[in-house]
């Protein structure tokens, strides 16, 4: 059934085929699920053994991935007690904040020998014919359910959910045929998003492979002559320069005052260093206003500028991304603009993206905290290929980058559609006529 075929209709349009409100029943989780806590062991027992569903995996996924990456040393008895079967729902039962509490992940298949984290709860359906796994996966992630969780959770030093609280939480259950259709509609959107992500990952790997072949292994140029340089042997006609001479602009930004509410939620993108975990920047988590730009040190990175995290927690420092939109940046981001004739933006991007460890190393030696500076980047040496080589490489990779951009843009729209439909479908505001799904 197409998205247009089940758009919202007036009550007169539905006629007798409409799903009347008394067919959508509300009940408690205690009526339809059995609750169990997960496996708790010494930290030395993790990292090897059999599949282990971690808190992190549950938190970040609506549904359990096909392959569970984490491992735990569990025995047969533990695997039976803490098993994972199709239809099981897993909830984060304790957290530092309410927003992290009750995040769900649903099993769409059986996972032999797998166990699950002790800081989570397993909700196993008492009757698997009553609940569709895909429907419940989206219901538990809906704002409707999330608001109920946070309103009922207890707070001491940590937010927590116990069996008594869980048993009283409400769930709305439409007829099974409608559950399946709602689940399939939403899942089809996520399936397309995941397909686009896989395509983009493949394109990224291809571009990286071409870069390595051309500019690290010099495979297309092996029949030619080579010269020695301070960066090793390079094809004749190429040279070594510094980043400063191949860029028209290198700068960092700033953060508008967070005390000024009129500086935020405007119509201008604003990028923080943590967002450089994304290879391509097509939007930003926060936005700012024109007034914020005029009253702060933030600066504008243009589309096709390369941005590098100069500081940040964990592995952030040294991460490199390519802007595919104009965005203002904060003080922990450095923007580099290729001059277009010595090097192109695809070459500059993949060159710096492949030098993550080098960037971290030079910044580690700079201070106790370690941070990259514009001065360090300007002095960084770079191989400058021939103009013909740069043009050929850019023609290939710019097209691949554009394809990735279009896929990422489509994902943004699909996510908006999914997030708009989710609460309306779960509340019954949008109803699917039975005649369309039987």
Overall domain count for the chain: 2
| 169, 243: one domain | no
Strands 264-271 and 327-329, by their bridges, are: parallel
Which distant-in-sequence residues (6+ apart) come within 8 Å of 329 by Cβ? 252, 253, 270, 271, 298, 299, 300, 301, 307, 335
| 52, 154: one domain | yes
Q: Is residue 206 part of a domain?
A: no
Which of 119, 145, 173 is the last residue before a domain boundary? Answer: 173
**Model confidence, pTM:** 0.79
| 29, 159: one domain | yes
pLDDT by 10s per residue, the chain, length 438: 333 333 333 333 333 333 344 478 889 999 999 999 999 999 999 999 999 999 999 999 999 999 999 999 999 999 999 999 999 999 998 876 667 788 999 999 999 999 999 999 999 999 999 999 999 999 999 988 888 887 776 555 456 778 888 999 989 999 999 999 999 999 999 999 999 999 999 999 999 999 999 999 999 999 999 999 999 999 999 999 999 999 999 999 999 999 999 999 999 999 999 999 999 999 999 999 999 999 999 999 999 999 999 998 888 999 999 999 999 999 999 999 999 999 999 999 999 999 999 999 988 655 545 689 999 999 999 999 999 999 999 999 999 999 999 999 999 999 999 999 998 888 878 877 655 555
Which of 173, 203, 226 is the last residue before a domain boundary? Answer: 173
**Closest of 312, 350, 309 to residue 329, by C-alpha:** 309
Cβ atoms of residues 125 and 87 within 8 Å = yes
User: Which residues are bridge partners to 384 per DSSP?
Assistant: 239
Domain that holds residue 338: 239-384
Q: Is residue 403 part of a domain?
A: no
| 375, 252: one domain | yes
Q: Is residue 246 part of a domain?
A: yes
CA distances from 109 to 58, 65, 83, 112, 114 (A): 15, 10, 12, 10, 12
Q: For position 327, which CATH number holds?
A: 3.90.220.20
Q: Is residue 365 part of a domain?
A: yes
């Amino acid at each position: 059934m197409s998205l247009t075929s089940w758009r919202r209709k007036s009550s007169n349009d539905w006629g007798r085929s409409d799903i009347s409100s008394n067919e959508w029943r509300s009940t408690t989780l205690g009526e339809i699920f059995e609750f169990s806590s997960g496996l708790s062991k010494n930290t030395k027992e993790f990292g090897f053994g059999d599949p282990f569903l971690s808190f992190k995996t549950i938190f970040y996924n609506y549904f359990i991935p096909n392959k569970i990456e984490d491992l735990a040393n569990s025995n047969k008895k533990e695997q039976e007690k803490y098993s994972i079967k199709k239809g099981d729902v897993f909830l984060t039962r304790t957290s530092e904040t309410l927003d992290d509490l009750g995040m769900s992940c649903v099993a769409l298949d059986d996972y032999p020998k797998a166990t699950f984290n002790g800081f989570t709860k397993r909700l196993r359906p008492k009757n698997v014919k009553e609940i569709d796994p895909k429907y419940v996966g989206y219901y538990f992630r809906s704002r409707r359910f999330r608001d109920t969780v946070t309103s009922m959770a207890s707070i001491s030093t940590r937010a927590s959910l116990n069996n008594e609280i869980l048993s009283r939480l409400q769930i709305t259950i439409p007829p099974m045929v409608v559950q399946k259709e709602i689940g399939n509609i939403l899942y089809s959107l996520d399936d397309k998003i995941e397909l686009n992500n896989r395509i983009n990952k493949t394109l990224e790997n291809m571009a990286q492979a071409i870069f390595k072949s051309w500019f690290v292994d010099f495979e297309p140029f092996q029949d030619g002559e080579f010269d020695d340089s301070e960066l090793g042997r390079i094809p004749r006609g190429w040279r070594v320069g510094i980043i400063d001479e191949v860029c028209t602009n290198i700068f960092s930004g700033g953060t508008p005052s967070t005390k000024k509410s009129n500086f935020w939620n405007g119509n201008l993108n604003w990028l923080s260093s943590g967002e450089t975990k994304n290879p391509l920047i097509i939007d930003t988590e926060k936005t700012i206003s024109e007034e914020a730009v005029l009253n702060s040190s933030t600066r504008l990175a243009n589309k096709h500028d390369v941005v590098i995290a100069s500081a940040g927690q964990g592995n952030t420092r040294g991460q490199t991304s390519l802007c595919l939109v104009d965005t203002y940046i904060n003080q922990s981001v450095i923007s580099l603009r290729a001059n277009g004739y010595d090097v192109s933006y695809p070459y500059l991007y993949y060159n710096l993206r492949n030098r993550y460890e080098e960037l971290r190393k030079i910044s580690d030696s700079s201070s106790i905290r370690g941070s990259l500076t514009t001065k360090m980047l300007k002095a960084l040496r770079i191989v400058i290929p021939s103009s013909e080589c740069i043009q050929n490489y850019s023609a290939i990779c710019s097209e691949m980058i554009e394809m990735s951009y279009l896929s990422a843009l489509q994902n943004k729209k699909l996510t908006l559609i999914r997030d708009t439909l989710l609460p309306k479908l779960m509340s019954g505001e949008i109803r699917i006529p039975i005649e369309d799904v039987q």
